[in-house]
Structure 1
């Protein structure tokens, strides 16, 4: 790869000369200090560079660039770069566009995970649009190509997800950070990507074996989503800022419970969420047979008839609206929904207690408190 000109280089002055104060306390947390817009700018710059490179290789790669740009740039809460950024600031790091660009690489890890997750779960949509494997299957059909359209779409999704993971590494290195900072960040970034991958495998294994234990559901949630959503981005920011060990320990004490609470909220939305806000069909997690904490808790406390219906209907691809409504009723009647909400509250309380006593910058502490509430009260 030819090293592209970074967005800060293209803008003219060195971004380290234009350090921004903490501002915009009334804005949504990911919009403060213009963070969301700056992350989007870094992603757009990088993907435009990759599009230009692929155009030189073969014009047939244009749909690949289109699909990844659409997936990465349209939608997404940018929570992971926000946790990374405020983790960096909390550890004494000074705002720069180089740091924001490096942290934007987290969004490409997220894109890779979601593209693969949608394929594994056979999901039709993501953020209200066709999932990547469906998009490319549709392209195959529209052009009347030979072979199996769905197989082509599946293959494309595997490769595009892999490409996003490769590009996450490239973007981490492309923003202009000094080698020492990158050397500190690499072990955190690498371990995070490994955790996501093995967590995804354990999720697949859990569905195959029918394991309904709360313990297994918790481990899958922590590895597949919780750690890379909160703890690892925080530790990545801390590493970039050369934070002392006590800051990293405080971030883990905050990030681990908060990441789990984030995933539990995701589980609730996967069953009870409004499709207009989640961008996925109602009850999709039930149709996919997800063995989440919510479902595991229902198996523990539902009556015998309820457990039988859970086993019979959970994971049925032709589960209709009536079946989804029935499973929701079982989950609510078992007390699992209330138990999950109580667990979210307890985890949030633990996270807030940890960050309130952490030895970090007070303005960053306020931002991380706000992020904790945003991550656990979201509706999409």
Structure 2
């Protein structure tokens, strides 16, 4: 087994570390005051994360016949690693949008910079400064993602073939994010709205387009791209449904966020949509009120989170989400078996599918 295949997350971190070191050097010399922002982005990118998006992209490239021992492998590695910078932008901005206090067990970027403002007793609002800094640091991540992708060292025709996937991915994740906040603002608690968000914000961005990007870098035929998009669509939604369950039932030591934060943030997930719908259908007004009152309540206590958990279990919403995860994962694996992927990509993607949707993921 080639060493990149054997330790892909470490290889992705290696090229990210190298890029961030060189990208931050020039702006530090031009404006030293910006140094803490550069440091914050570097710490955020290198401080954790599953590297899912570049991993799917890498195996898309390998499935299209990409050779990890070839002269192009290092360039491909840099190209797919740039997805982590888009992810950094999305997460930093997402934390601002959701007013989240912590991520991966540490203060979010906007909270950390607000604390810096408070410690320095600077002028104006510490919270406003923190939000502004986080927005700009997220913008920096997005700008550097483009730089890393464009300067990865691959031939221009190879990059041009992957550009449609790159463009679609960036537009789709923003559309999904907007749809997410729109459903929260309008109170759309329908299962259909929740699934639209899942398909745009997670399935397309986390699985489908990274696979598409990697396959395109490998010169894949459209038939292979279509098979990977089908696999990624089902798997991506199943992955998000698992994440929704963990957002309510997960262990904070595993998720890196306080239990019930999705409820406090008012996320309109399929789990909650089904909980409300099932409670109404069954005439269980008490359970429906418990669920409805919890969504978007920033002061929700741990005991109240426990009440929501029990209500979701009692009306059958949890069992239905589990059923859908199993069904969609099965559909994804069936699509994968139909795809003519070079090995070991098919095996690795099947393993990723199981890991991404298991109960403790």
Superposition TM-score, scaled by structure 1 size: 0.91
Match of 2:183 in 1: 206
Q: Distance in 2 between matches of 1:59 and 1:312?
A: 48
Which of 128, 143, 146 is equivalent to 2:105?
128
User: Is the 8 Å Cα contact of residues 92 and 109 (structure 2) preserved in structure 1?
Assistant: yes
After superposition, residues 69-80 of structure 1 pair within 5 angstroms as: 69-80=42-53
Cα RMSD (Å) of the superposition? 1.2
Q: Distance in 1 between matches of 2:329 and 2:196?
A: 18
Q: Distance in 1 between matches of 2:290 and 2:272?
A: 12
Report the CA distance between 1:54 and its aligned residue. Answer: 1.6
After superposition, residues 342-357 of structure 1 pair within 5 angstroms as: 342-357=323-338
Report the CA distance between 1:22 and its aligned residue. Answer: 4.6
Match of 2:74 in 1: 97
Which of 212, 218, 222 is equivalent to 2:199?
222
Unaligned runs of 5+ in 2: none
User: Is the 8 Å Cα contact of residues 196 and 224 (structure 1) preserved in structure 2?
Assistant: yes
Is structure 2 residue 152 aligned with structure 1 residue 175?
Answer: yes
Match of 1:112 in 2: 89
Report the secondary structure of 1:362's partner residue.
coil
128-137 vs 319-328, which moves further = 319-328
Match of 2:312 in 1: 331
Report the CA distance between 1:244 and its aligned residue. Answer: 0.5
Is structure 2 residue 241 aligned with structure 1 residue 260?
Answer: no
User: Is the 8 Å Cα contact of residues 271 and 284 (structure 1) preserved in structure 2?
Assistant: yes
Is structure 2 residue 339 aligned with structure 1 residue 358?
Answer: yes
Q: Distance in 2 between matches of 1:155 and 1:93?
A: 42
Q: Distance in 1 between matches of 2:67 and 2:147?
A: 23
Match of 1:197 in 2: 174
Q: Distance in 1 between matches of 2:359 and 2:258?
A: 17
Is structure 2 residue 38 aligned with structure 1 residue 65?
Answer: yes
Report the CA distance between 1:377 and its aligned residue. Answer: 1.4
Report the secondary structure of 1:146's partner residue.
coil
Superposition TM-score, scaled by structure 2 size: 0.95
Report the secondary structure of 2:82's partner residue.
helix
370-379 vs 170-179, which moves further = 370-379
Which of 38, 42, 48 is equivalent to 2:15?
42
User: Is the 8 Å Cα contact of residues 278 and 379 (structure 1) preserved in structure 2?
Assistant: no
Match of 1:17 in 2: none
Match of 2:27 in 1: 54
Is structure 2 residue 266 aligned with structure 1 residue 285?
Answer: no
* CA displacement, residues 268-313 of structure 1 (integer Å, 9 cap, x when unaligned): 1111110011110011101111100111110110122222222222
Report the secondary structure of 2:154's partner residue.
coil
* CA displacement, residues 49-71 of structure 1 (integer Å, 9 cap, x when unaligned): 12211211211111111111111
User: Is the 8 Å Cα contact of residues 173 and 182 (structure 1) preserved in structure 2?
Assistant: yes
Report the secondary structure of 1:237's partner residue.
helix
After superposition, residues 243-254 of structure 1 pair within 5 angstroms as: 243-254=220-231
Q: Distance in 2 between matches of 1:327 and 1:230?
A: 30
Match of 1:155 in 2: 132
